[in-house]
Amino acid sequence: MSLVVEDYSVTIGSQTVIRDARMSARPGEILAVLGPNGAGKSTFVRGLCGLRKARGKAMLGSFDLLNSTPAERAEKVGYVAQDLAHLDVQMTVLDLLILAQNSGRHGWKTESGSFRRARQILEALNLVHFAGKQPSQLSGGERQMIALALALVRRPDLLLLDEPTSALDLANQLQMLDAVREVTRREGIVTLAILHDMNLASRYADATLILSDGHIRHHGRTAEVLHPEMIAEIYGVECRLVELEDGHRAIYPVALRSHSF
SS3 category, 144: helix
Residue pair 109/103 in contact (Cβ under 8 Å)? The answer is no
For residue 106, pLDDT beyond 90? no
pLDDT at 257 (0 to 100): 84
Higher pLDDT, 174 or 106: 174
Residue pair 93/44 in contact (Cβ under 8 Å)? The answer is no
**Over the stretch 46-88, which tens digit does the pLDDT of each residue have?**
999 999 999 999 999 999 999 999 999 999 999 999 887 778 8
Q: Which of 51, 52, 53, 63 is nearest to 5 (CA)?
A: 63
- Please say whether the dihedral angle defined by the alpha carbons of residues 27, 177, 121 and 48, taken in this order, is positive or negative: negative
Of the listed ranges 78-92, 98-112, 147-161, the least confidently predicted one is 98-112
Q: What is the DSSP letter of 108?
A: S
Q: What is the pTM of this model?
A: 0.92
Q: Which of 199, 196, 197 is nearest to 241 (CA)?
A: 199
For residue 261, pLDDT beyond 50? no
pLDDT at 217 (0 to 100): 97
**Over the stretch 209-252, which tens digit does the pLDDT of each residue have?**
999 999 999 999 999 999 999 999 999 999 999 998 888 899 99
Vertex 33 angle, CA 31 and 37, to 5°? 170
Element (H, E) at 43: helix 41-48
Q: How many angstroms from the chain centroid is the CA of residue 190?
A: 9
What percent helix, strand, coil does the chain show, rounded to 5?
A: 40, 30, 30
Domains and CATH numbers, the chain: 3-226 (3.40.50.300), 227-260 (no CATH)
Residue pair 203/175 in contact (Cβ under 8 Å)? The answer is no
